[in-house]
Amino acid sequence: MSKKAEFTQVIQNGYTFKGGSIDLGAAMLEGEVMTNTLVKLPLRMFNRHGLIAGATGSGKTKTLQILAEQLSAKSVPSLLMDIKGDLSGIAVPAVSNAKIDDRHAKIGFPFAAGSSPVEFLSLSGEKGARLRATVSEFGPVLFSKMLGLNDTQSGVVAVLFKYCDDNNLPLLDLKDFKKTIQFLTGEGKDQIQGEYGLISTATVGSIMRKIVELEQQGADIFFGERSFDVADLCRLDESGKGVVSVVRLTDIQDRPKLFSTFMLQLLAEIYSTFPEEGDLEQPKLAIFIDEAHLVFDEASDALMDQIEAIIKLIRSKGVGIFFVTQNPADVPEAVLSQLGLKIQHSLRAFTAKDRKAIKLAAENYPETEFYDVDQLLTELGIGEALVTALNEKGIPTPLAHTMLRAPQSRMDVLTDDEINAIIKKSYLVRKYNEVIDRESAYEILSEKIDEFQKAEQQEELRKQKEKARSTSTRHQKSTLEQVISNPTTRQIGRTIARELTRGLLGVLGIKSTSRRR
């Protein structure tokens, strides 16, 4: 058997599945496309997560687009993190050209243009349905890990959450959190110490600085109501296609803390609310995280532990997570080991460090007698990739140098008018862009603080009045005493008394003489 025949047999046996699958492209050997030797991905294994890696311009974003639109066609909704702003085109069909037709002729099936139903979401000022979450939904543990707090500081946060729960104080946004800290270290200090223990002002100061840091990255926009319901990510359109939710993140590239915070909360919310599903025939939701290094670069050790735990456990909820980044080394090993699907585009070797990274990346793939993986990684063309997945039994498929199919949707961004048209028809925009600012901890505690201050002012005013009254009484008494105790006054008093006495005695004397006469 020739090498090509042997290779074709290996690929066909390795990529034939009983259940549903999507066609990714055709296998290649020695630079030649093996027409009709299709590389497929089993839907059953899409909850085992994946990695799409490659240098800038190698085509990894278009691979993400291919996977999302093919999943949509199979009634699997997906969530896309659009950091660079070039994924909106999935909403409209592509226009075929000679290059696309030639590519598909080599692969073995004709090109068919198509689009997917799209919802635009936003964390900031971008157009789309607003993504929000309340501070209460984070909970004290996740909120503390997000801020990177130590055990002592986390304990204070736990006390704060407990106090708010016990006193029916809704913690909705960051101003609620800050107002609660202000109250518990000020007017409510005696109450909190009596019930929950002493809170150090130094600890509170450290927590407040972390909050300010988060606010500077725009997190005050993210926290609040109406809180986003993750069940809205699992919608199908009228024709049964999975809705592709595109989170527009072009204006937060320089705010990775906000991005990582959002991702962690989203994954935690999905894990806590989605029911246990086990191994489904196809996933309920696929999440694609573009520029994934932004999640990991800003994550503290505690945050990384949380992410790793969620990645390991969330597959039982029927959810697959796919990281898109330039180099596999951008993803921590503990997470990388959980990724069943790997699609590796070309890597560049400009330095000795780059060459070491390529050798390390090559070790992530199954051994093969058909490729020199180290060398091939630097020779892959645009729209080509090394692919390995898990088959339906959970065994890695043979490594396949693959010519990828072209996206059926537009490989470019939408115009403002096209985006506005989608936004205008959006159910989620109408649902989540309503501004809600109901009474919460901020308003309730502000009122309490005002009452404390008014009571203090009234008490101070009462004390001042009593002091003034006391001063006035003492002043009056002192004047009388001064008059009486004055020597001149005493002399005048004695003179008056003497003269009165004399007058009286004189009168008495005259009367006495008269009687004697």
pTM of the entire structure?
Answer: 0.81
Instruction: For residues 311-335, give the mean pLDDT.
Output: 89
Note the pLDDT tens digit of each residue in 204-227.
899 999 898 888 877 778 888 888
CATH code, 3-132+230-432: 3.40.50.300
Query: How many residues can be counted in the chain?
Result: 517
Q: What is the pLDDT of residue 495?
A: 56
Strands laid side by side in the 118-122 sheet: 32-42, 21-29, 400-404, 384-388, 341-344, 50-53, 319-325, 285-290, 78-82, 244-248, 118-122, 129-130
A 10 A CB-CB count for 109 gives 13
Task: Report the chain's terminal Cα–Cα distance, integer Å.
Answer: 178
**What percentage of the chain reaches a pLDDT higher than 70?**
86
Of residues 343 and 473, more confidence is placed in 343
Domain coordinates of the chain in residue numbers? Answer: 3-132+230-432, 135-221+441-446, 493-517
Instruction: For residues 354-359, give the mean pLDDT.
Output: 82
Q: Which two tokens stand for residue 54?
A: 């490659």
Where does the pLDDT of residue 323 fall: very low under 50, low under 70, confident under 90, or very high at 90 and above? very high
Burial 121-151 (b: 16+ CB within 10 A, else e): bbbbebbbbbbbbbbbbbbbebbbbbbbbee
For residues 478 and 481, give the distance between their C-alpha atoms in angstroms, rounded to a whole number.
Answer: 5
Helical spans, DSSP H, in 299-424 = 301-313, 333-336, 352-362, 373-376, 416-424
Element (H, E) at 507: helix 487-516
Residue corresponding to tokens 């809180």? 227
SS3 at position 363: coil
Note the pLDDT tens digit of each residue in 437-489.
777 777 777 776 666 666 666 767 777 777 777 766 655 555 555 555 555 55
Q: Are 48 and 93 in contact (CB under 8 A)?
A: no
305, 276, 286: which is closest to 48 by C-alpha?
A: 286
HSE at residue 67, side-chain half, CA atoms within 13 A, is 33
HSE at residue 510, side-chain half, CA atoms within 13 A, is 5
A 10 A CB-CB count for 317 gives 21
CB-count burial class (<10 Å; 0-12, 13-18, 19+) for 516: exposed
Where does the pLDDT of residue 504 fall: very low under 50, low under 70, confident under 90, or very high at 90 and above? very low
Q: What is the pLDDT of residue 187?
A: 74
Note the pLDDT tens digit of each residue in 240-267.
999 999 998 877 666 767 777 778 888 8
Of residues 346 and 496, more confidence is placed in 346
